[in-house]
Amino acid sequence: MSTPPPLRIGMIGYAFMGAAHSHAWRTAPRFFDLPLEPQLTAVAGRSATGVREAAAKLGWASTETDWRRLIERDDIDLIDICTPGDTHAEIAIAALNAGKHVLCEKPLANSVSEAERMVEAATAAAAKGVFSMCGFTYRRTPALALAKRLIEQGRLGSIRHVRAQYLQDWLSDETAPMTWRLDKSKSGSGSLGDIGAHSIDAAQWVTGQKINGVSALLETFVPERPLAGDLVGLGGHGDVDANAPRGQVTVDDAAIFSARFDGGAASAGASNGSASNGGQPAGAIGVFEATRYALGRKNAMRLEVNGTKGSLAFDFEDMNVLSFYDAAEGPDSGFRRIMVTEPEHPYVGNWWPTGHGLGYEHGFTHQAVDLVHAIAEQRQPEPSFAAALQVQRVLAAVEASAAAASRWQTV
């Protein structure tokens, strides 16, 4: 069996997301047959010492301290962007213009205008066979992928309700220090963009419907936090001097909003749904919540969808399970607990024997697998930058609504 051609990766950023992406690039060809072989060619970071240590730990062959140099290199085919949101647009556009494929972490950018420029660059690059994708990895969780399959098969009928929550508690301690995630100039927004973006993308992707209007409320519970250097990542408060200088928190700590969906593919396989526009089923209504202050909730990314024929529910804290209710089975049946560990379930057949669950890191591996196949087959990988722009527009509408006393905003 011949060795597939290489796909030489250059990654920018090496903290939390960089570690997850590195693991994925290393692991993907060991469990999946790929048409291209990912090679961890170079990693870039601002600190020469830090990036050398990361390269040795994560398995990268070489390092750079200037991301521009990484893009200039002839031995790089794909740029993997694992940096804060304020750098995404500049790096991605430069990489695409240089003929490099791009994988960019979510949210796509810090503003709609930046995201629009990224989509323009991606569209021009795709015409030349250069592709880009945004990293909404929850799409690659087998249970969520199964949820989408069931909806596409018409098992839920017409979609009526969507409930999405993303609950964490790592900022609940008011003495926890400032991080870049609390600085709007770097992160774009707080819980809304950091974790709420995942819920928005997952809800739209699973249901096949787009959000076209919102009414929102944002809250910042702790407006100032101790300064403790350029901390990166989640948790790990360390020793913080109570008398240390304090920095201003410029993002939301929590976001809640109601939403209207456009109907999209809600009618696929459905019948006898309520209709309000020329016989087509009306778009679903949704409620969303994102917070990093829900004590006891560590990574509860939840999604529930109710239709005319059934319902499904998912919670990432029990990520190998999908709860499914089929109304045809009668009112006494209740929700059925599906262990998404069978070979016929999405992605699962390449891993362990039946009943052996997967973890957080597997979504990143599946992302790498799907991206490699798309590049080799010269087709647009999903989610595209255009799909990520739709999420960015929802984020902007939520902020606009909250700033206008929860007034309804169209997307």
Domain containing 203 — which CATH number? 3.30.360.10
CA dihedral 50, 135, 161, 156 (to 10 degrees): -130
Contact 106, 134 (CB under 8 A): yes
Q: H or E element: which one contains 162?
A: strand 159-167
Angstrom CA distances, 296 to 28, 140, 300, stand at 33, 25, 10
Q: Are residues 251 and 280 in the same domain?
A: yes
Contact 247, 224 (CB under 8 A): yes
Token pair recorded at residue 303: 């999604």
Q: Are residues 156 and 134 in the same domain?
A: no
Q: Are residues 61 and 170 in the same domain?
A: no
Question: Closest Cα to residue 255, out of 156, 396, 143, 152?
Answer: 396
CA dist., res. 88 & res. 201, Å (int): 18
- State the Cα angle at 250 between 177 and 183, rounded to 5°: 60
Q: What DSSP assignment string belongs to 106-132?
A: SSS-SSHHHHHHHHHHHHHHHTTT--E
Segments forming the whole domain that contains residue 81: 6-138
pLDDT of the chain along its 411 residues, tens only? 689 999 999 999 999 999 999 999 999 999 999 999 999 999 999 999 999 999 999 999 999 999 999 999 999 999 999 999 999 999 999 999 999 999 999 999 999 999 999 999 999 999 999 999 999 999 999 999 999 999 999 999 999 999 999 999 999 999 999 999 999 999 999 999 999 999 999 999 999 999 999 999 999 999 999 997 544 344 444 555 667 789 999 999 999 999 999 998 544 444 334 444 444 457 999 999 999 999 999 999 999 999 999 999 999 999 999 999 999 998 888 999 999 999 999 999 999 999 999 999 999 999 999 999 999 999 999 999 999 999 999 999 999 999 999 999 999
262 in a structural domain: yes
> Based on the structure, what is the number of domains in the chain?
2
371 in a structural domain: no
Q: Are residues 212 and 350 in the same domain?
A: yes
Q: H or E element: which one contains 395?
A: helix 385-403
Peptide bond preceding 346 in cis form (omega within 30 of 0)? no
Q: Are residues 162 and 109 in the same domain?
A: no
Q: Are residues 210 and 335 in the same domain?
A: yes
Residue with tokens 């964490």: 168
Q: Which of 138, 156, 184 is the last residue of a domain?
A: 138
